[in-house]
Amino acid sequence: MTKLEELKAAHEKKLDDLKDSIKELFSLLDATEETDEGRVHRPVQIVCVSSDMLMKLETVLATLKSTMWDKG
C-alpha cells in the first residue's frame, strides 16, 4: 500500500467515524420517552439563551441532519 493509499484509508476511516458520531447525535436528539402519565417528551435538549445563535444552531443542525440522511 502506497503512502497516498494509507493516507486516503486513514481519512476515510476518520470520515466514517465522524458520520457515525453525527448519526448518534441525532439519534440522541430525536429520542423520545413517555412519562407514567402518557406524555411524550424529548429527554435530550440543547439550550441556547441567544436567539441569534439559536437560529444559526438550528440551521447547522438541520443541514447536518439532511446531509447525513440524503447521502446515507
Task: Dump pLDDT digits (tens) for 23-71.
Answer: 999 999 999 999 999 999 999 999 999 999 999 999 999 999 988 776 5
Q: What is the pLDDT of residue 33?
A: 97
- Which of 54, 71, 65 lies closest to 23 in space, CA to CA? 65
Contact call for residues 67 and 61 (beta carbons, < 8 A): no
Q: Which residues contact 47 (CB under 8 A, 6 or more apart)?
A: none
CA 54 to chain centre: 16
pTM of the model: 0.76
- For the chain, state the CA radius of gyration: 18
